[in-house]
Amino acid sequence: MMSETQPMLLRGTLIRGIGSFYTARDETGTCHTLRCKKKIRHSGMTPLTGDEVLFTPGEAEEHGWIEEILPRKTVCLRPPVANVTCLVIVIAPVPEADLVLTDRQICRAVAQDMKILIAVNKSDLDPDMAVRITADYRESGIQVFAVSALRKTGLDELKEAMLGQLCCLTGQSGAGKSTLLNALLGLQLETGDISRRIARGKNTTRSSDLIEKDGLRVMDTAGFNLLEPEKQLEPEKLRERYPEFRPYEGKCRYRECLHDREPGCAVNEAAEAGRISVNRLNRYRRILAETREIWRDRYD
Ligand SMILES: Nc1nc2c(ncn2[C@@H]2O[C@H](COP(=O)(O)OP(=O)(O)O)[C@@H](O)[C@H]2O)c(=O)[nH]1
Ligand SMILES: [Mg+2]
Ligand SMILES: [Zn+2]
């Protein structure tokens, strides 16, 4: 009688997904092609780039199987990736930056304790943009970097801040994420124009790729222009996601002050006195209004 051998279980990180096939890199650096066991999908989970998984490797040309997705440290929605510890938001003068979108992304990242960096790309086109953005975020503790992926300027400082983190480049389509990643890592990945053409031609959904080089671990991701507001966020919780408001918490006239237009608001006074950014506060108020509306309609 043949003895049944216990299937070998390996641990790895998902670095890519194309259609229903995933690539995991194991602890020795070897890559494995895998599919996802039905029991995982039935539990309502979909593997994401960045996931730590346990898997049975395939033999010869056969693919292996993802057996388990280990608990996630963080989850990003746009792009859908797991375990990111540092969000690098790429904005540029063209296409025109949508800073409300940027602030929404920041709110989600703050809620998950991620490190947040803003890369103001294409600074060759508008060197002043980074100055304006730096002023907006000075009191938030979020670092702003003026870079040009094209001219390869400002890259070393950004790289330094990204070291040791699992980073995700995010931002509007066309901001220059792929070009920036190529410049940072010295690679030749497809930039937007090409990948968009391929995307139109084929039916495969291509996930984000996790690229590791020179101590940097970065996700390259498809661009997006929309980020739907959070449905589960109580309006009272939004203010906690603004690091620059923290010194003023509890100092407003009303304990439940939302820093909207209430009298005696310490955050408003700080903005008027130039101690926090008026632009950030104004955008907070827009996001607050949205959040209230969605919260009010949450049972519809
Ligand atoms: N002038 C200038 N153009 C850039 C820079 N970085 C990227 N681009 C251009 O912006 C366009 C979009 O870049 P891409 O990397 O595909 O953007 P993605 O959609 O965010 O990945 C391309 O035509 C790039 O050549 C830059 O630093 N300066
Ligand atoms: Mg791209
Ligand atoms: Zn207040």
- The pLDDT of 1-8, averaged and rounded, is 63
- Ligand 3 centroid to Cα of residue 267, in Å, is 5
- Is the pLDDT at 196 greater than 50? The verdict is no
Share of the chain above pLDDT 70, in %: 89
Q: What is the domain partition of the chain in residue ranges?
A: 10-69, 75-220, 235-296
Name the residues around ion ligand 3, CB cutoff 5 A: 252, 257, 259, 265, 267
Task: List residues near ligand 1 (CB under 6 A).
Answer: 121-122, 124-125, 148-150, 173-179, 191-192, 223
- Ligand 2 centroid to Cα of residue 178, in Å, is 4
- Ligand 1 centroid to Cα of residue 150, in Å, is 7
The predicted model scores a pTM of 0.89
Domain with residues 75-220, CATH architecture: 3-Layer(aba) Sandwich (3.40)
Pick the CATH number of 10-69 from 2.60.40.60, 2.40.50.140, 3.40.120.10, 2.40.30.10: 2.40.50.140
CATH, range 235-296: 1.10.40.50
- Ligand 2 centroid to Cα of residue 55, in Å, is 30
CA-nearest residue for atom 8, ligand 1, is 176
pLDDT on residue 61 = 86
pLDDT digits (tens, 9 = 90+) for 22-53: 999 999 999 999 999 999 999 999 999 999 99
- Is the pLDDT at 298 greater than 60? The verdict is yes
DSSP codes joined into one string, the chain: -PPPPPPP-EEEEEEEEETTEEEEEETTS-EEEEEE-HHHHHTT----BT-EEEEEPP-TTS-EEEEEEPPPS-EETTTTEE---EEEEEE-SSSPP-HHHHHHHHHHHHHTT-EEEEEE--TTT-TTHHHHHHHHHGGGT-EEEE-BTTTTBSHHHHHHHHTTSEEEEE-BTTSSHHHHHHHHHT--PPPHHHHHHHHHH----B--EEEEETTEEEEE---BS--PPPSS--HHHHGGG-GGGGGGTT-SSSTT--SSS-TT-HHHHHHHTTSS-HHHHHHHHHHHHHHHHHHHTTT-
Which ligand is closest in space to the CA of residue 269? Answer: 3
- Ligand 1 centroid to Cα of residue 121, in Å, is 8
Atom of ligand 1 nearest to the CA of 169: 20
pLDDT on residue 128 = 97
